[in-house]
Structure 1
Amino acid sequence: MTRVDRWQLPDGVEEVLPAQALIVEGLRRRLLDLYHSWGYRLVIPPLMEFTESLLIGLGRDLDLLTFRMTDQLSGRTLGVRADITPQVARIDAHSLAEVGVTRLCYAGSILHTRPKSLMASRSPIQLGAELYGDSSLAADVEIIRLMLATLDSAGLQDVTLDLGHVGVYEAVLAAAELDQEQEATVFDALQRKSRPDLALALAGSPAAVVELITGLLDLHGDENVLARARQQYQQRAPAALAAVTALEQTAAAIRRQRPQLGIYFDLAELRGYHYHTGMVFAAYVPGHGQALANGGRYDDVGKVFGRARPATGFATDLKALTTLLPLAQTDRGAISLPPSEDPALLVRVEQLRAAGEVVIHSLAGKHDPRCNRQLVEQQGEWLLQPLESD
């Protein structure tokens, strides 16, 4: 009989222990306060929903990541959310149904059937913000600035902003006039940035088409990329120029507030291509291969809920963010509370806790190991005194 370690968790699922949990919760509160100060209202969607509403609008990847079960009340299929974005889209389109711009934010656990990347968690804490009802570039810029402010608030430095636009690929694809099967093969090769596979996918295509599509792989780097793209597609895929202009304007707007920010352009970035409809963006820091936050424009995602609305937003994994931060330092330690029912002592304890101090009962006469001070009564007053180590 196989021995089962009852303490063992599934691969990719982890618990958050006290030292790390202190950081996670502190950052969650700080970021939700930040979003509130920008006018984003908090929503708390349910952990599970019917799959008919949970698995729409964000492509097949979300379908594969979602755990399913049968609802014993209705007999219908439920899904445990693998992404909160479609839930917030439903809230905007149906539950709120407001006129004009709606700004919403959220924070909550999600669950994946498999890790999204090699080192990724299957139980992230997703936190993000969404802006509905405005299709302008200014809305994208606002969301990008809020994403960068999120990383600032987390204390992360040397951030690089990665910008792309699905309109470039769409224009190139339209100009190439590939059939549906070849389109899928080309998309797969481009998504993996595989030049050999792209060459195989385009085997037999006219040289002009091969050059047109393969050129996307070289369009990544600093602002010079945009000038090269404009020159490359001006005659052969002119519809791409509007996307290039949008990238230029977005980068200029971000640089006005952050002149030292590193901005990287990748015109073959196809992450989320099947649901993004415009600008896509992500934030990276040195030494961490995965994006710490990413997002983009996904207009009309609420159409299935009865209202097609412009939409842009971003999300981050709170647990991934906090793994890059040092453990919280409790410099002040804690205060040991003696076993006494003196009303004056209880008043003093309330004052200390209200001031942010940690006050811990000394059960059975033993001080909690975190305590470095204690409350001692002197002439009817309860005073703080250093607590000597045992």
Structure 2
Amino acid sequence: MMSNWLLPESLADILPAEARRIEELRRNLLDLYRTYGFELVAPPLVEYIDSLLSGTGGDLNLRTCKLVDQLSGRTLGVRADMTPQVSRIDAHLLNREGVTRLCYCGSVLHARPAGLLSDRELLQIGAELFGHAGVEADIEIIHLALESVRRAGVKNARVDLNHPGVLRSIVNEDPALAAVADEVCDLLSTKDVPGLVELGKRLPEVRESSLKALRDLTSLYGGTEVISRALHVLPSLPAVQSAMADLQALIDALPEFDFSIDLADMGSGYGYHSGVVFSIYAEGWHDALVKGGRYDGIGKAFGRSRPATGFSLDLRKLSSGLPAAPLARAIRAPWGTDPALVQALQALRSAGEIVVQALPGQVHDVDEFTLDRELVLENGTWQTRAVK
């Protein structure tokens, strides 16, 4: 018989000290986004599946838990990513003409964990900028993402860049590649050169120049010098040159940060992302802390095709790699209803102090406080003193 306290696989409780730190991170980052002019929105946890997955590709569909709405009989989805919902709000509800900056924070649920060490429930926080197609929006978003992890205490963060437009331009130049674009993405992401060679043998109609370009992509990773190498070895296509110019503009605009480039790392966003994509890595986390990029046109499914770029991260994952949260200082106070005691308690709490009253006959166990002071009655007045 299964114990009632067991949780489903890859789901976990968050205990007091960790929960406090996650909440402090949430408040800190949302306050940061507000200083940049981002407005907070809160979409629902569940909505109709056809709206939830509009314009997002097949990967999100596989990650989405589905259920039947008992009121309408239609299929609902528990959100696995809040970005499509925020895009719906921008395109359909706000319907603004100019630039719109929106931020959000809420739980998302994955049908399966993304990796061996991943959880299925994430506390996703992020920011999205709509209405500007220029690289300036990407610069602002990447700077804000880096400031987010810096505010959290992450040191020596590194940004990995890519631009799906490079691969898209190569595929568009060769009709024979279009039918196997997803397979090509998988082969590139694992840098499987023998697999690309086998693909050429299986599809003799694919041009040799296209196969060479794909093989070259697998070696185009490293530092910022990758941009000049790419311009030298890849086909001289306008889209390739434009993509390299965007990457260079980003790097030049943020000289204080450490960048790397991997033009073969397609991930799951080839059909979703339309421009610069990025991931932020740091020592202490087994995979990317932050993921983001440009996804122009996602709002088309909701009636308005808008330029869009943004990022998101999981606060639970972010917190898990940080040093142990320090205990909060607190005051121990006796139980009582004496008006003078009540007034002293109210004054301390109004001043921002944490005051824990000891209930009669009980020992108070705490995980996140250190009771380093106590409230005592001395000479007829309630005063705080250090615990000896």
* TM-score bin, normalised by smaller chain: over 0.9
Partner residue, 2:6 = 8
Q: In the TM superposition, what is the alpha-carbon distance from 1:331 to its structure 2 partner? A: 5.2
Is the contact made by 2:220 and 2:262 (CA closer than 8 Å) also made in structure 1? yes
CA distance change for structure 1 residues 287 and 178 in 2, over 3 Å: closer, same or farther? farther
Is the contact made by 1:336 and 1:367 (CA closer than 8 Å) also made in structure 2? no
Counterpart of 1:300 in structure 2: which amino acid?
A: G
Partner residue, 2:358 = 362
Residue-pair matches, total = 380
Partner residue, 1:133 = 131
CA distance change for structure 1 residues 35 and 302 in 2, over 3 Å: closer, same or farther? same
**3-state SS of the aligned residue for 1:361?**
strand
Q: In the TM superposition, what is the alpha-carbon distance from 1:209 to its structure 2 partner? A: 2.8
Partner residue, 1:303 = 300
Output aligned runs, 1:139-218, within 5 Å.
139-203=137-201, 204=204, 205-218=206-219
Partner residue, 2:239 = 239
1:312 aligns with 2:309: yes
Deviations along 1:54-82, whole A, 9 cap, x unmatched?
Answer: 01121101111111111111111111110
Output aligned runs, 1:1-390, within 5 Å.
3-203=1-201, 204=204, 205-235=206-236, 237-255=237-255, 258=256, 261-271=257-267, 272-330=269-327, 332=329, 334-370=330-366, 371-387=371-387
**3-state SS of the aligned residue for 2:218?**
helix
Deviations along 1:227-255, whole A, 9 cap, x unmatched?
Answer: 011111354x3431110111111110111
**3-state SS of the aligned residue for 2:254?**
helix
Is the contact made by 1:176 and 1:212 (CA closer than 8 Å) also made in structure 2? no
Give TM-score, length-normalised by structure 1. Answer: 0.93
Larger mean CA deviation between 193-202 and 130-139 belongs to 193-202
Distance 2:113 2:340 in 1: 54
Q: In the TM superposition, what is the alpha-carbon distance from 1:179 to its structure 2 partner? A: 4.2
Distance 1:84 1:201 in 2: 36
Distance 2:187 2:154 in 1: 33
Unaligned runs of 5+ in 2: none
Counterpart of 1:139 in structure 2: which amino acid?
A: A
Is the contact made by 1:376 and 1:382 (CA closer than 8 Å) also made in structure 2? yes
Is the contact made by 1:234 and 1:241 (CA closer than 8 Å) also made in structure 2? no
Is the contact made by 1:173 and 1:213 (CA closer than 8 Å) also made in structure 2? no
Is the contact made by 1:23 and 1:327 (CA closer than 8 Å) also made in structure 2? no
Counterpart of 2:291 in structure 1: which amino acid?
A: N
Q: In the TM superposition, what is the alpha-carbon distance from 1:344 to its structure 2 partner? A: 2.3
Counterpart of 2:220 in structure 1: which amino acid?
A: L
Distance 1:94 1:331 in 2: 44
Counterpart of 2:149 in structure 1: which amino acid?
A: L
Distance 1:110 1:183 in 2: 29
Q: In the TM superposition, what is the alpha-carbon distance from 1:195 to its structure 2 partner? A: 2.0
Q: In the TM superposition, what is the alpha-carbon distance from 1:343 to its structure 2 partner? A: 2.1
Is the contact made by 1:162 and 1:283 (CA closer than 8 Å) also made in structure 2? yes
Q: In the TM superposition, what is the alpha-carbon distance from 1:124 to its structure 2 partner? A: 0.7
Is the contact made by 1:336 and 1:368 (CA closer than 8 Å) also made in structure 2? no
CA distance change for structure 1 residues 372 and 366 in 2, over 3 Å: closer, same or farther? farther
Counterpart of 1:184 in structure 2: which amino acid?
A: D
**3-state SS of the aligned residue for 1:124?**
strand
**3-state SS of the aligned residue for 1:109?**
strand
Provide the identity percentage.
43
CA distance change for structure 1 residues 211 and 146 in 2, over 3 Å: closer, same or farther? same
Q: In the TM superposition, what is the alpha-carbon distance from 1:206 to its structure 2 partner? A: 4.6
Distance 1:100 1:206 in 2: 43
RMSD (Å), alpha carbons: 1.6
CA distance change for structure 1 residues 96 and 209 in 2, over 3 Å: closer, same or farther? closer
Q: In the TM superposition, what is the alpha-carbon distance from 1:340 to its structure 2 partner? A: 2.0
Distance 1:135 1:179 in 2: 28
Is the contact made by 1:147 and 1:314 (CA closer than 8 Å) also made in structure 2? yes
Give TM-score, length-normalised by structure 2. Answer: 0.94
Unaligned runs of 5+ in 1: none
Q: In the TM superposition, what is the alpha-carbon distance from 1:326 to its structure 2 partner? A: 1.8
Distance 1:223 1:254 in 2: 12
Q: In the TM superposition, what is the alpha-carbon distance from 1:109 to its structure 2 partner? A: 0.5
Is the contact made by 2:216 and 2:234 (CA closer than 8 Å) also made in structure 1? no
**3-state SS of the aligned residue for 2:305?**
coil
CA distance change for structure 1 residues 211 and 305 in 2, over 3 Å: closer, same or farther? same
